[in-house]
């Protein structure tokens, strides 16, 4: 439908659309009460995009369509803050708070009230508005000079590009990555064979320093605003009023704050928040206590580094010290050799910890971790324990730097450092650790989904030389299987059925299973959809690969290199001869028709033990369910893993059916039988 529109009427409609889209964003992000559905929003957004395409002169920097720029920057410019961003002094217990209170009361004559806020564990950012327009987003830097990250700041949807009032000021706050976005990002990175981020804070920092705003835009960053350079245009006499005026201007503020008169009241707030900390959808590392009155803040003043009128109470760190006895080096599916510290077990954040990933060689060198060192291990929330530092005073005298392997701990071949990578890799395609991990990946739920074929079975098959590569799986016979430990006729039959069934999988499962470098399930699906069958994909040129939206140079090169190998071509032929399906069968397999999941809206929350989130999402979607991100009246079922938080609470409030992971497993198995 391409009606011709005049420039004048387009102008009117464009203004109207922008106003509506901004209003809906405000309802969504600030009031947390959207009045239209996501798809209605998308429709309006597309209409605006269409009009702007038709009339490019109408495009302005503050249009909601202009959040993500397409220019990759070469570096970050330095910028001077209008007023410095201060640091905060710390308190670690109630005594510290009492002496803070005494100091404050000496510096002012009037009675004091405090405002307590959550200390968000992210990065402080400063947003400069001129005449109501966002003109600059900057990092804190050293407090005086920061870096210009405007391109990335603009991609954060809850930050208004245009304020309803023409004020000029710098609004400050904390940028962070919500826990859920962090877990999802790491799952995706893991599937793509990339290094994972140690915590949401690092992930947020990495995202804000992306040179390509398109990448930053995908990272689901969020922000809470809590201070400003001046009070210009803000009509505020206190911290409390400041937060209110921010909210009125369309900024997100954190509502978990409390006005208190005494340290006792503050202490109760701290205790309440400490107990609920794990359920918050973002990480916090303390509570910030600020004198509420802005006039009093000025009266009390600043040290060189920090305001005298505020203090940060820091939660006790979830840290412990222990001794490293051994460093284990293991070879993963992609050949990456990763070190793990084996330590005396210690209690940390309620769990017993004896292993911690050391991630890579660089990290070992940086932190100079040695055998028999006493180390500090840290565990935050759902995150894997990490060795943060060595207690040097306790280092044994005869200690020597840890030996970094030069040869594969499994096959003995020389290890390599690929260009641009911190990882150490075994690139011997015949390395049994690689092959075994590769096989385990091939049969996994997310790939060819051969239920009943697990790591232990693969190990045995491999040791007995019954299989060498994935194609061999399809040649296995009943006799072969019966030679294995603990495999009886009945289970052997099940295994053979699972292998046979996998032959009818749609192509993207095969592609995922092959474990081509950088090709996770998402890329596999794109490739399968685009090329339709393996032959076409194998003959694709680089240009043809690069046409695919969402698929970059790295993946394209990796696919080309992979299929150019003779051994790979042979293996593909073997798979084909064995009757493995090589075509894309579409998203919804025919068996879905009578699936009990058909049309059900499901929400996943908490940490799952048996699946990764994307994996489970895939499984349920294949059965016809719709998996969404938030609980609403339309939700039919919530699957709650460990430490489920606000979504679970919401489900209970709306009386929506909730299943544990166990219940889900039973239901899935029941349906398969
Ligand atoms: P620190 O980095 O430990 O010196 O603590 C100071 C930092 O806490 C500030 O630079 C902010 O980035 C951060 N912060 C987080 N939440 C708040 C808040 N509500 N008020 C003030 N600062 C905060
Ligand atoms: Zn090896």
| Residues 172 and 141: beta-carbon distance below 8 Å | no
Share of the chain above pLDDT 90, in %: 55
Q: Tell me what the mean pLDDT of segment 562-575 comes to.
A: 92
Q: Report the residue among 126, 174, 254, 314 best suited for mutation to probe ligand 1: largest number of ligand atoms under 8 A from its CB.
A: 174
Which of 38-42, 141-145, 227-231 has the highest average model confidence (pLDDT)?
227-231
Domain check: are 130 and 205 in the same one?
yes
More confident: 72 or 585: 585
Contact 524, 506 (CB under 8 A): no
Distance between CA atoms of 474 and 574, rounded to whole angstroms?
9
- 87 appears as a binding residue in the annotation: yes
How many of the other CB atoms lie within 10 Å of CB of 659?
Answer: 15
pLDDT at residue 2 tops 70: no
How many angstroms separate the alpha carbon of residue 87 from the centre of ligand 1? 7
Would the annotation count 38 as a binding residue?
yes
Rounded distance, CA 575 to CA 560, Å? 19
Which DSSP helix (H) or strand (E) runs through 48? helix 38-54
Domain check: are 272 and 128 in the same one?
yes
pLDDT grade, residue 671 (50/70/90)? Answer: low
Per-residue pLDDT at 188 exceeds 80: yes
Q: What is the pLDDT of residue 29?
A: 82
| Predicted confidence band of residue 591 (pLDDT cuts 50, 70, 90) | very low
| Tokens 């790491």 belong to residue | 186
Please report whether residue 346 resides in a domain. yes
CA distance 142 to 145: 6
From 373, 394, 389, 270, select the one nearest 319 (Cα to Cα): 389
Q: Which residue has the tokens 């077990």?
A: 345
Beta strands in 606-648 (DSSP E): 626-628, 637-640
Domain range for 369 is: 319-394
Of 285, 314, 343, which marks where a domain is finished?
Answer: 314
- Residue 81 Cβ inside 6 Å of ligand 1? The answer reads no
- Determine how β-strand 145-147 pairs with β-strand 78-80: antiparallel
**Which pair of tokens denotes residue 596?**
């009990």
The pLDDT, as a whole number, for residue 419 is 65
**What is the reported pLDDT for 673?**
34
Residues 148 and 254 in one domain: yes
Q: Is 39 flagged in the annotation as binding? A: yes
Give tens-digit pLDDT for 459-509: 999 889 999 889 999 999 999 999 998 889 999 999 999 999 999 999 999
Q: Atom of ligand 1 at shortest distance to CA of 117?
A: 19
Of all atoms in ligand 1, which is nearest to the CA of residue 124? Answer: 12
Confidence of residue 588 (pLDDT cuts 50, 70, 90): very low
Q: Which of 151, 117, 107, 301 is nearest to 227 (CA)?
A: 117
Mean pLDDT, residues 547-564: 88
Mapped to the 3 state alphabet, what secondary structure does 414-476 carry?
EEEECCCCCCEEECCCCCHHHHHHHHHHHHCCCCCCCCCCCHHHHHHHHHCCCCCCHHHHHHC
Is the domain of 112 the same as that of 241?
yes
Q: Do the beta carbons of residue 161 and residue 169 sit within 8 Å?
A: no
| Distance from chain centroid for Cα 54 | 36
- Determine which one of 106, 119, 247, 522 is catalytic: 119
Given a cut of 80, is residue 3 above it in pLDDT? no
Q: Tell me, what's the pLDDT at 506?
A: 94
- pLDDT tens digits along 99-129: 999 999 999 989 999 999 999 999 999 999 9
In a domain, 454, yes or no: yes
Average pLDDT over residues 647-655: 86
Phi-psi region of 574 (alpha: psi -120 to 50; beta: other; left: phi over 0): alpha
Q: Atom of ligand 1 at shortest distance to CA of 123?
A: 12
Task: Output the six-digit token pair for 406.
Answer: 């030069």
Secondary structure (3-state) at 518: coil
Please give the distance, rounded to the nearest whole angstrom, from the Cα atom of residue 201 to the centre of ligand 1.
13
Instruction: Give domain status of residue 413, yes or no.
Output: no
Instruction: Kindly state whether residues 155 and 236 are assigned to the same domain.
Output: yes
Cα–Cα dist 190/207, whole Å: 17
* Residue 122 and residue 86 share a domain: yes
* Dist. CA 659 → ligand 1 center (Å): 38
Q: Is the pLDDT of residue 295 over 70?
A: yes
Per-residue model confidence (pLDDT) at position 350? 56
- Which residues are within 8 A (CB) of 95 and not within 5 positions of it... i.e. 6 or more apart? none
Q: Would you say residue 425 lies in a domain?
A: no
Q: 408 among the known binding-site residues?
A: yes
Tell me the average pLDDT across 131-147: 93
Sheet holding 626-628, edge to edge: 626-628, 601-605, 637-640, 657-660
**Coil, helix or strand at residue 557:** helix
Ligand 1 midpoint to CA 119 (Å):
6
Question: Is 587 inside any structural domain?
Answer: no
Helix, strand and coil in the chain, % to nearest 5 = 40, 20, 40
Whether residue 98 is predicted with pLDDT greater than 70 in this model: the reply is: yes
pLDDT digits (tens, 9 = 90+) for 155-178: 999 999 999 999 999 999 999 999
Ligand 2 centre to CA of 425 (Å) is: 8
**Rounded CA gap, 552 and 148, in Å?**
27
Share of the chain above pLDDT 70, in %: 96
Tokens encoding 288: 């910030």
Question: Which amino acid residue places its CA nearest to atom 10 of ligand 1?
Answer: 87
**55 domain residue, yes or no:** yes
Per residue, the 3-state secondary structure of 179-237, as one string, reads: HHHHHHHHHHHHHCCCCCCCCHHHHHHHHHCCCCHHHHHCCCCEEEEEEECCCCCCCCC
Q: Is 140 annotated as a binding residue?
A: yes
| 117 ligand 1 Cβ < 6 A | yes
Of 520, 512, 521, 501, the closest CA to residue 452 belongs to 501
- pLDDT tier, 589 (very low <50, low <70, confident <90, very high otherwise): very low
The mean predicted confidence, pLDDT, of the chain is 89
**Mean pLDDT confidence for 543-563:** 89
Q: Is 404 a domain residue?
A: no
573/611 same-domain check: no
CA neighbor of 289 nearest in space, from 263, 310, 303: 310
pLDDT, one tens digit per residue, over 224-250 is 999 999 999 998 999 999 999 999 999
* 62 and 85 assigned to the same domain: no
Strands 336-348 and 123-130: unpaired
| Ligand number with the minimum distance to the CA of 125 | 1
Whether 599 has a pLDDT exceeding 80, the answer reads: no
The reply to whether ligand 1 has any atom less than 6 angstroms from the CB of 119 is yes
Question: Ligand 2 centroid to 647 CA: how many Å?
Answer: 44
**Tokens standing for residue 60:** 């302005």
Q: Which residue has the tokens 């430490």?
A: 643
Domain-located, residue 418 = no
Which of the ligands is closest to the CA of residue 429? Answer: 2
For tokens 């005049």, name the residue.
6
Domain boundary among 314, 332, 362: 314
Asked whether 325 and 342 are in contact (CB, 8 A), the reply is yes
* Three-state helix/strand/coil letters over 1-25: CCCCCCHHHHHHHHHHHHHHHHHHH
Q: Is the CB of 120 under 6 A from ligand 1?
A: yes
Q: Is 248 a catalytic residue?
A: no
pLDDT given at position 383:
62
Higher pLDDT, 37 or 32: 37
Rounded to 10 deg, the angle between the 566-577 and 553-564 helix axes is: 80
What is the spatial distance between Cα 534 and Cα 516, in angstroms, rounded to a whole number? 14
Number of domain units in the chain: 5
Among 77, 176, 173, which residue's Cα sits nearest to residue 126?
173
Instruction: Name the more confident of 207 and 381.
Output: 207
Nearest CA to ligand 1 atom 2: 87
- Residue of 666, 628, 665, 624 whose CA lies nearest to 650: 628
Place of tokens 């009509």: 235
Q: In what order do the strands lie in the sheet with 123-130?
A: 133-139, 123-130, 169-176, 222-228
Do residues 492 and 478 lie in contact, with contact meaning Cβ atoms separated by under 8 Å?
yes
174 Cβ closer than 6 Å to some ligand 1 atom: yes
Residue 432 has phi, psi (to 5 degrees) of -65, -30
CB 341 within 8 A of CB 367: no
Section 374-387 average pLDDT: 78
Q: How far apart are alpha carbons 159 and 176 in whole angstroms?
A: 13
190 marked as part of a ligand binding site? no
Q: Is the domain of 490 the same as that of 557?
A: yes
CATH code for the domain of 484: 1.10.150.20
Q: What is the DSSP letter of 293?
A: B
596's CB contacts (< 8 A; 6+ apart) are: 671
Cα distance between residue 32 and residue 530, in whole Å: 38
Tell which wins on pLDDT, 73 or 254: 254
Query: pLDDT class for 380, splitting at 50, 70, 90?
Result: low
Per-residue pLDDT, averaged over 383-394, amounts to: 86
Q: What is the DSSP letter of 131?
A: T
pLDDT recorded at residue 390: 93
Residues 570 and 628 in one domain: no
Whole-number Å distance between alpha carbons of 639 and 663: 9
Task: Give the ligand at the shortest distance from the Cα of 428.
Answer: 2
What is the model's pLDDT at position 190?
77
The ligand placed nearest to the CA atom of residue 227 is 1
Beta bridge partners of 78: 147
Higher pLDDT, residue 378 or 100: 100
Instruction: Convert the pLDDT of each residue in 339-375 to its tens digit.
Output: 999 999 887 765 678 999 888 888 888 889 999 999 9
310 with 441, same domain: the answer is no
pLDDT value of residue 592: 46
The finding on whether 113 has its CB within 6 A of some atom of ligand 1 is no
The verdict on 346 and 450 lying in the same domain is no
Of the three residues 276, 291, 314, the one that is the final residue of a domain is: 314
Contacts of residue 151, Cβ cutoff 8 Å, sequence gap at least 6: 69, 71, 73, 213, 216
Element (H, E) at 241: helix 239-249
Assign residue 659 the CATH number of its domain. 3.40.50.10190
């Amino acid at each position: 439908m391409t009606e011709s529109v005049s420039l004048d009427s387009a102008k009117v409609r464009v203004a109207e659309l922008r106003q509506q889209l901004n209003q809906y964003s405000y309802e969504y992000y600030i009031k947390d009460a959207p009045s239209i559905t996501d798809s209605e929003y998308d429709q309006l957004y597309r209409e605006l995009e269409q009009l702007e395409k038709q009339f490019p002169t109408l495009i302005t920097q503050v249009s909601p369509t202009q959040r993500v720029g397409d220019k990759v920057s070469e570096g970050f410019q330095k910028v001077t803050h209008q007023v410095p961003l201060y640091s905060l002094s710390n308190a670690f217990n109630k005594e510290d708070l009492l002496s803070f209170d005494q100091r404050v009361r000496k510096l002012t004559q009037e009675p004091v009230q405090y405002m307590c806020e959550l200390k968000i564990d992210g990065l402080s950012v400063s947003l400069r508005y001129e005449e109501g327009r966002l003109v600059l987003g900057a990092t804190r830097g050293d407090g005086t000079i920061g870096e210009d990250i405007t391109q990335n700041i603009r991609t954060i949807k809850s930050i208004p590009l245009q304020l309803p009032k023409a004020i000029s000021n710098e609004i400050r706050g904390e940028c962070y990555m919500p826990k859920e976005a962090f877990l999802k990002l790491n799952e995706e990175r893991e599937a793509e064979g990339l290094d994972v981020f140690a915590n949401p804070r690092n992930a947020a920092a990495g995202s804000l320093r992306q040179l390509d705003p398109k990448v930053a835009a995908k990272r689901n960053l969020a922000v809470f605003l809590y201070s400003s350079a001046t009070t210009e245009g803000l009509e505020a006499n206190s911290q409390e009023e400041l937060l209110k005026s921010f909210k009125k201007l369309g900024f997100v503020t954190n509502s978990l704050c409390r006005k208190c008169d005494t340290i006792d009241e503050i202490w109760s707030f701290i205790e309440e928040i400490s107990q609920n900390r794990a359920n918050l959808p973002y990480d916090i590392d303390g509570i910030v206590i600020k004198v509420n009155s802005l006039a009093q803040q000025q009266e009390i003043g600043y040290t060189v580094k920090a305001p005298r009128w505020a203090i940060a109470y820091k939660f006790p760190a979830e840290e412990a010290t222990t001794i490293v006895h051994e460093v284990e080096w293991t070879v993963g599916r992609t050949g990456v050799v990763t070190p793990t510290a084996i330590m005396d077990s210690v209690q940390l954040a309620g769990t017993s910890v004896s292993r911690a990933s050391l991630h890579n060689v660089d990290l070992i060198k940086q932190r100079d971790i040695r055998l028999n060192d006493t180390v500090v291990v840290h565990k935050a929330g759902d995150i894997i324990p990490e060795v943060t530092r060595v207690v040097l005073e306790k280092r044994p005298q005869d200690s020597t730097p840890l030996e970094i392997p030069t040869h594969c701990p499994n096959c003995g071949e020389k290890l390599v450092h690929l260009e641009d990578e911190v990882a150490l890799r075994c690139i011997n395609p015949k390395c049994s650790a690689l092959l075994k991990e590769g096989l385990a990946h091939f049969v996994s739920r997310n790939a060819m989904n051969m239920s009943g074929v697990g790591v232990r079975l693969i190990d045995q098959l491999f040791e007995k030389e019954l299989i060498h590569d994935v194609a061999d799986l399809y040649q296995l016979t009943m006799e072969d299987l019966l030679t294995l430990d603990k495999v009886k006729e009945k289970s052997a039959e099940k295994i053979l059925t699972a292998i046979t069934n996998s032959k009818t999988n749609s192509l993207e499962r095969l592609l995922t299973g092959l474990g081509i470098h950088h090709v996770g399930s998402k890329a596999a699906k794109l490739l399968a959809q685009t090329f339709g069958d393996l032959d076409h994909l194998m003959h694709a040129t680089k240009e043809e690969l690069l046409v695919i939206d969402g698929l970059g140079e790295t993946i394209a090169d990796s696919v080309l290199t992979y299929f150019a190998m003779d051994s790979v071509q042979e293996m593909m032929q073997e798979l084909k001869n064995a009757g493995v399906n090589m075509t894309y069968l579409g998203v919804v397999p025919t068996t879905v028709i009578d699936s009990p999941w058909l049309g059900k809206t499901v929400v996943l929350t908490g940490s799952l033990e048996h699946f990764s989130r994307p994996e489970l999402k895939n499984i349920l979607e294949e059965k016809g369910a719709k998996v969404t991100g938030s609980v609403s009246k339309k939700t039919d079922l919530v699957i709650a893993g460990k430490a489920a938080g606000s979504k679970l609470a919401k489900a209970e409030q709306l009386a929506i059916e909730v299943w544990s992971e166990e219940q889900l497993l039973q239901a899935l198995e029941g349906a398969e039988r």
